[in-house]
Amino acid sequence: MKSVELIHQPGAPILSARIVLPLGSILDPIGMKGRQQLLAGVLTRGCAEFNAEKFASFVESHGANLRCEAGEDLLFIALKCNRIDANSMVPLILAMLESPHCNEEQINLERDLNIQMLKRLQEDPFQLCNDKLKPLLFDDGPYSSDPIGFKQDLKNIKQNNLLETSKQLTCRKALLVLAGDPPAELIENCRERLNLWNNEPISAPEPNPEPALNFASVVCNTEQVVLMMGFRTVGIDNTDSLMLRLLQVHLGVGMSCRLFQVIREERGLAYDVGVELMMRRSNSPMVWHLSCAVGRACEALDALLAEWQNIIQAPISEAELQLAVAKLKGMEALSRETGGQRADRLAMLLSYGLPADHNEICLKKLDRIEPAQLLAAAQRWLQRANLSICGPSSAIKELKQHWQRAQR
């Protein structure tokens, strides 16, 4: 993997830049969940000769958009600026990693923002349900919590923790992707600069074994119930990832999908229903979710369980497969409309050790896939379900009994 990759768009007035490092939230130690995301926010609060105020003024004076976030696997900086400002703005994102200030006052301000965000998230039944589902899939190890972490953990993180962690930022596995028409000398200067980075990144820990417990709930006094059924599947580099993506599209993407048609349109059991598949380095979670009225929650759960059994017991029809293929092709086309989207995708693929044309290779395979292959993938990865519920205590009690009966 080269340190700098170019998606050349001759004459493009806008430059999109992405720099990614293998320093995501899976590196957060127990007791300091949220550390990597806190560090990411602090990186936008001063570096090199810029204090926090000068940093913000410099970015805004160039009309640029700049953000830094920690996902589960990767920490990334995203920049969008005018091409004529590239020689000023792109070196800035390298300086953010080379010489971050990690000023204690700014750390405290960023921590307060993250704690406020956590408070808002705790008012969302879907977030509460998801927070309960993650430990069912991953115990208390990597991937068991959102990158933003926990309130008490954030309070535990001190300046010296971030200063020590920041030493890993100039690691040799950093990748810079530029999409647009940057000056040739800028590309070479960035490459020379990145090649001086020699730190080895921290080795990512292996996920914990899936725990035996497969049910969790959280009481929320609302007029609706949120159900999430989760499965621990494969990493993005596994050949079954394409089969699971097609199953996701078939089951839970758009109004034509199976769950929407059966559970919402035909039976009127749910307000909202869908399937998410968050592909990552390993053990990607597939989550089937719905929200429904309290009085129809048991019916909705029964319908969800019936669809689960259908997908692991019988192949989908050829017509259903072709619809899923067509939808996935359309989604792929829409995901690469802008330079920023293309930079995001290339950065992710290369960081995961996949070829730059991975998506194109997958697209060529789509028309040769048969329903039996999707059934085989479902039987490999969707056999063990985990259920998380958010709703009134009375509904939870009844739903738990339904779930336990279904396990017999």
Say yes or no to pLDDT of 240 above 70. Answer: yes
Tell the burial category of 178 from Cβ atoms under 10 Å away from its Cβ (0-12, 13-18, 19+): buried
Question: Of residues 190 and 210, which shows the higher confidence score?
Answer: 190
- Distance from the first to the final alpha carbon of the chain: 50
CA distances from 24 to 4, 203, 384 (A): 20, 11, 27
Buried b (16+ CB within 10 A) or exposed e, 127-163: bbbbbbbbbbbbbebbbbbbbbbbbebbebbeeebbe
Average pLDDT in the 253-273 region?
A: 96
The CA R_g of the chain, rounded to the nearest whole Å, is: 23
**pLDDT recorded at residue 1:** 60
Give 243's contacts (C-beta < 8 A, 6+ positions apart): 369, 373, 374, 376, 377, 378
Neighbouring-strand partners of residue 276 = 287
Give, in words, the CATH class of 4-194: alpha beta
Cα 268 to its chain centre, rounded Å, is 30
Say yes or no to pLDDT of 333 above 70. Answer: yes
166 Rama class: left (phi>0) / alpha (psi -120 to 50) / beta:
alpha
Say yes or no to pLDDT of 171 above 90. Answer: no
Consecutive H or E run containing 141: none
**pLDDT recorded at residue 141:** 86
CA distance 402 to 391: 15
Say yes or no to pLDDT of 162 above 80. Answer: yes
Average model confidence (pLDDT) for the chain? 95
Residue ranges of the chain assigned to CATH 3.30.830.10? 4-194, 215-406
- CATH number given to 215-406: 3.30.830.10
For the stretch 103-142, pLDDT in tens is 999 999 999 999 999 999 999 999 999 999 999 999 988 8
Neighbouring-strand partners of residue 19 = 77, 176
CA distances from 175 to 83, 94, 288, 351, 366 (A): 20, 11, 34, 7, 30
**pLDDT recorded at residue 323:** 97
Give 197's contacts (C-beta < 8 A, 6+ positions apart): 170, 171, 172, 174
Average pLDDT in the 177-199 region?
A: 94
For the stretch 41-68, pLDDT in tens is 999 999 999 999 999 999 999 999 999 9
For the stretch 341-382, pLDDT in tens is 999 999 999 999 999 999 999 999 999 999 999 999 999 999
State the pairing for strand pair 224-232/386-391. antiparallel
Contact (Cβ atoms closer than 8 angstroms) between residue 59 and residue 111: no
pTM: 0.94
Neighbouring-strand partners of residue 20 = 76, 175
Consecutive H or E run containing 107: helix 104-121
Tell the burial category of 29 from Cβ atoms under 10 Å away from its Cβ (0-12, 13-18, 19+): exposed
CA distance 197 to 209: 35
What secondary structure does DSSP assign to 241-297, as a single string?
HHHHHHHHHHHHSSTTSHHIIIIIIIT---SEEEEEE---SSS-EEEEEEEEEGGGH
**pLDDT recorded at residue 347:** 95
For the stretch 5-30, pLDDT in tens is 999 999 999 999 999 999 999 999 99
pLDDT band at 313 (very low <50, low <70, confident <90, very high): very high
Share of the chain above pLDDT 90, in %: 91
pLDDT band at 198 (very low <50, low <70, confident <90, very high): confident
CB neighbours of residue 48 within 10 Å: 15
Question: Of residues 120 and 223, which shows the higher confidence score?
Answer: 120
pLDDT band at 209 (very low <50, low <70, confident <90, very high): confident
For the stretch 67-77, pLDDT in tens is 999 999 999 99
CA distance 66 to 44: 8
Share of the chain above pLDDT 70, in %: 99
